[in-house]
Amino acid sequence: MELFTNQVLAGIATGAIYACMALAVVMIYQAIDHLNFAQGEMAMFSTFISWQLMQWGLSYWAAFLITLAFSFVAGIAIERILFKPLAKAPVLTNVAGFIALFAIVNSSAGLIWDFTIKQYPTPFGSSPFLGSQLISTHQAGMIGVTVLLLVALYFFFQYTRIGLAMRAAASLPESARLVGINTSWMIALGWGMATAIGAIAGMLIAPVVFLEPNMMGGVLIYGFAAAVLGGLTSPFGAVVGGFLVGVFENLAGTYIPGVGNELKLPIALALIISVLVVKPAGLFGRQIVKRV
Amino acid sequence: MTVLLNVKDLRAYYGQVQALHGLSFSLNEGSLTTLLGANGAGKTTTLRAICNMVRSTGGIEFDGKPLNNRSTESIVRFGIAHVPQGRGTFTTMTVEENLQLGAITRKDSAGIVSDIERMYSHFPVLKQRHTQQAGTLSGGEQQMLAVARALMLRPRLMLLDEPSFGLAPLVVRDLFGILGKINREDKVSILVVEQNAQLALELADKAYVIETGRIVMSGAAKDIATNEEIRKSYLGY
């Protein structure tokens, strides 16, 4: 029983990270109808920035906040420079754009910081949380920061005018323009926020997976699985999907013989395929009906 | 009377296809003008061209200022509220959020709050349903919401694209009554596009008839309504 509880709690902790990645993916998907394959690499780059700031002597939380600001601005810049010109381009052109972004960000990080694995600090420590062996303080911190972030995002989208405008622009761009919303900037803002959310995920998972240019590869696939499971059109679904995938991954690794740590990733891929076959809109997504 | 909207030699294109062929008309401040015509005559395209939602050439002046080459969202900020065909309701949001979106360009939060209350007194049914998702409203209620949302801008000019479409005759009567009241009392100039010519002519003071992208007739609404020949050849009733 203790093993089970332990695995569920650990699953919720990594699930929190998947939830953040899924949320970032869904925010951009809602704005531009494309999956951002480079979301993980952008998060990795942000994490390196925070690491570099700490190497230069800044405290963890100072580096954390500066990295968020940097990521927000970088996300907006990427949208303005690379994806705004592609807005009306066919899907494949956009896919090529995302792959290019992936390769550029990954190689730049390797060039600047090289590909050796680096230790990344945790501000929460790794002692047992509240004296319990079930969960570490860092895992509790991952859950705590994510929950804070989700609550803040909820209030932003539900109760601020700019949040309302962003929702309107994502749901019906033409109507949004007709009430005077600059939808193009709302998309850029969405990129900025998604990049900052990804940065949080990267900085929280780095002490677990260690810092290196390919650290987010697996995480992003779980994030995609979470987004697909929850429904690509539902930010709420993405978050629920993240936690579910985290727990499912851990339990499968523990209890299904032969899965272990090595076969966890194919499980995420199998999950994506099963959801797409059985319920393509996901748990909370809306069925997209196109008039022909 | 001052001219509020002046359209000169408007030509509009969907890809290679030309939909408007040099259309000219004007709308006076305070007027309720209607554009009539059959399906495909270019009524909707005319409204879309005014808001720069379709590629067009020619002159469009609002209150003496040219609108050409401005983005849709900046044209809205001049005080032009466009209720598109199909109403453009944000169906996944609440009624009240829809009204707030109508006022998203305004900065006076006290004025917005009082205007929402004013809309609820214009349209009591919206108050009853203010926390409901807009997509759950009936067609008539959604049209009321679309008009209310447009009024939240405090527009000088309201463009309405077939407000009667898909509504029961009694609901249409109601709605047109409210439009007349808004025009008289709130001094909002209105340009309404309609297939229901009879009703639109009762309401409007001035009318234009469009056929295949050109104005073929214009005049006071009551003259057009009583002219047997125009009625038979263009309005079909």
Rounded to two decimals, the ipTM of the complex is: 0.89
| B-contacting residues in A 153-182 (Cβ below 8 Å) | 161, 164-165, 167-168, 171-172, 174-182
Q: Tell me the per-residue pLDDT of A47-85, one tens digit each, with 9 for 90 and over.
A: 999 999 999 999 999 999 999 999 999 999 999 999 999
Q: Residue A291's pLDDT is what?
A: 52
Q: Tell me the per-residue pLDDT of B147-194, one tens digit each, with 9 for 90 and over.
A: 999 999 999 999 999 998 888 888 888 889 989 999 998 899 999 998
DSSP letters for A153-196: HHHHHHH-HHHHHHHHHHH-HHHHHHTT--HHHHHHHHHHHHHH
- Pair of tokens at residue A214: 């390919």
Q: Residue A98's pLDDT is what?
A: 95
- Percent of the residues in chain A that have a pLDDT greater than 90, as a whole number: 68
Put simply, whether A58 touches B (Cβ < 8 Å) is no
Q: Tell me the per-residue pLDDT of A171-222, one tens digit each, with 9 for 90 and over.
A: 899 999 999 999 999 999 999 999 999 999 999 999 999 999 999 988 999 9
**Do B35 and B208 meet the contact criterion of CB atoms below 8 Å apart?**
yes
Measure CB to CB from residue B101 to each of A168, A174, A182 and give the nearest one: A168
pLDDT at B235 over 90: no
DSSP A265: H
Which residues of A fall within a CB distance of 8 Å from B74? 180
Q: How far is B172 from chain A (nearest CA, A)?
A: 23
Which residues of A fall within a CB distance of 8 Å from B78? none
Lowest model confidence (mean pLDDT) among A250-264, B27-41, B55-69:
A250-264
The closest alpha carbon to B78, from B180, B158, B186, belongs to B158
- How does A22-52 read in b/e, with b if 16+ C-beta sit within 10 Å? bbbbbbbbbbbeebbbbbbbbbbbbbbbbbe
Contact (CB<8Å) A182/B73 = yes
The alpha-helical segments, DSSP class H, found in chain A are 2-32, 39-55, 60-78, 91-113, 137-159, 161-171, 173-178, 183-209, 217-230, 235-255, 264-278
Q: Which residues lie below 8 Å from residue A250, measured CB to CB, with a gap of 6+?
A: A7, A8, A10, A11, A14
What does each C-alpha distance from B110 to A27, A84, B106, B134 come to in angstroms? 32, 36, 10, 24
Which residues of B fall within a CB distance of 8 Å from A231? none
How many residues comprise chain A?
Answer: 292
Q: Residue A83's pLDDT is what?
A: 92
pLDDT at B92 over 70: yes
Measure CB to CB from residue A178 to each of B84, B92, B97 and give the nearest one: B84
Query: CA triplet B99, B101, B106: central angle to 5 degrees?
Result: 100
Measure CB to CB from residue A164 to each of B84, B101, B149 and give the nearest one: B101
Measure CB to CB from residue B104 to each of A171, A174, A181 and give the nearest one: A181
Contact (CB<8Å) B100/A182 = no
Kindly indicate the confidence band of residue B237, based on its pLDDT and cuts at 50, 70 and 90.
low
List the end-to-end C-alpha distance of chain A, in Å, as a whole number: 54
Burial environment of residue A230 by CB neighbours within 10 A (0 to 12, 13 to 18, 19 or more): buried
What does each C-alpha distance from B205 to A186, B30, B175, B181, B225 come to in angstroms? 40, 10, 17, 14, 11
The predicted model scores a pTM of: 0.88
Residues of chain B whose beta carbon is less than 8 angstroms from a beta carbon of chain A are 51, 53, 71-74, 76-77, 81-82, 84, 88-90, 92-93, 97, 100-102, 104-105, 149, 153
Measure CB to CB from residue B73 to each of A161, A164, A180 and give the nearest one: A180
Q: What is the mean pLDDT of residues B41-66?
A: 92
Q: What is the mean pLDDT of residues A244-252?
A: 91
